[in-house]
Amino acid sequence: MEEVARFIKAWIIAIICLCYCYYTTAKIPKGILRLLSLLPVVYIFIILPFNLTSVHLCSATTFPLVWLANFKLLLFSLDHGPLSPPPPKLLQFILLACLPIQLKTKNNSNPSPQISLFTRSILLVVKILLMAIILHSYYYIHLMHPYVVFALYCAHTYLELEFVLAIFGVLARALFGFELDRQFDEPYLSSSLQDFWSRRWNLAVTSILRSTVYFPTRYFFKRIIGSTGATLVAVMASFLVSGLMHEILICYVTHVSPTWEVTCFFVLHGFCLAIEVAVKKVVRDRWRMPVIVSMPFTMGFIATTSFWLFFPQILKNGIDDKIIRELLNTVDFIKGTN
């Protein structure tokens, strides 16, 4: 209960700060003065999660405030991003600032193949059942081979993120009628790294990285090294920033100095994606790898590099054990109240 109280206190402070941004900062002309007025809020958001020890509560504070809200407020200082112009209602401003939601755009270039509503409904039922099986299997995790545990962690990470972001999206749509893009688009169907990272995985973060890192970097380097070189540099910069932010999130949860494997994971994927983009520009439509080959190759590469660089830092710091304990305690609590 003390942890929940600290969590509620942190979010009350965050909401007060966002009220200040809405009623005061929005009245300041864009540019350096607006940025200076936002810097105290950015600082407060950075220090708020430090008192939280629960993995889920700390993550549910760090990711929305330290990453999403701060990046969106930096865009807001220049009158760009989802907060500009400010929406007509305060609560809409707060939701757009700190929730991982992305407003639907009319023009969506290179969309992934669409899946029918019936198929999505079937997939949702399967995912719910799969998540239930994973949670139940954690009671017997000590009997499992490490590779099986890794596979469970991969599936769990994806399913929990998709469920949480879907809940945020449903609430935003129901309360305010926001038309939202999907945050995950069946990433296990990805046929390339570009397809995975740009069109299927955690698209709200992808959108923020495009606005704050990719486009400014590409614009700056385009005049120096040309369009193709600037695109590759911008891709690498986006993945580097993403890796550093993931490293920071893990530090908040573990209170341990970073070991940089997670950053290396994202830098490696950025490098491979940059090569992929360059090769596609050379071959264009003259040759394309069959989907039946590219899909398992892509997912195999993502899984292998995750086992190698992403999950070890989580395992070494015992985050997986804390996550499992918290989830199982929640399940046992729900069972006990029925």
pLDDT at 129: 93
pLDDT at 254: 86
User: Per-residue b/e over 42-62, b at no fewer than 16 CB within 10 Å?
Assistant: bebbeebbeebebbbbbbbbb
pLDDT score for 109: 45
Predicted confidence at residue 110, as pLDDT, reads 47
8 Å CB contact between 21 and 73: yes
Q: How confident is the model at residue 119, as a pLDDT?
A: 76
The structure tokens listed for 264 are 């290396």
Write out pLDDT tens, residues 10-30: 999 999 999 999 999 999 999
Which letter does DSSP use for residue 142 in this model?
Answer: G
The candidate with the shortest Cα–Cα distance to 74, out of 55, 46, 49, 52, is: 46
Q: Which conformational region is residue 102 in: left (phi greater than 0), alpha (psi within -120 to 50 degrees), or beta?
A: beta
Q: Which residues of the chain have pLDDT under 70?
A: 102-117, 176-181, 285, 333-338
Do 32 and 19 contact (CB within 8 A), yes or no? no
Region label for 81, one of left (φ > 0), alpha (ψ between -120 and 50) or beta (otherwise) = left
334: left (phi over 0), alpha (psi -120 to 50) or beta: alpha
Beta bridge partners of 180: 103
What phi, psi does 180 have (nearest 5°)?
A: -115, 145
Phi and psi (nearest 5°) for 317? -95, 5
- Residue type at position 246: H
C-alpha 243, offset from chain centre: 11
State the angle between helix axes of 261-283 and 215-254 in degrees (0 to 180), rounded to the nearest 10.
150
Task: Please spell the DSSP secondary structure of 275-296, one letter per residue.
Answer: HHHHHHHHHTTS----HHHHHH
What type of residue sits at position 306? S
Separation CA 129–CA 106 (nearest Å): 34
Cβ-based neighbours of 233, under 8 Å, separated by 6 or more = 217, 218, 221, 225
Output phi, psi for 113, to 5 deg: -55, 135
Report d(CA 196, CA 199) in Å as an integer. 6
Nearest to 72 by CA among 214, 208, 165, 242: 208
Angle at 39 between CA 35 and CA 40, to 5 degrees: 140
Sequence length of the chain is 338
Tokens 């932010």 -> residue: 245
Neighbours of 282 (CB within 10 A): 9
The contacts of residue 137 (CB under 8 Å, 6+ apart) are 144, 152
| Residues whose CB falls within 8 Å of the CB of residue 259, separated by 6 or more in sequence, listed in order | 313, 316
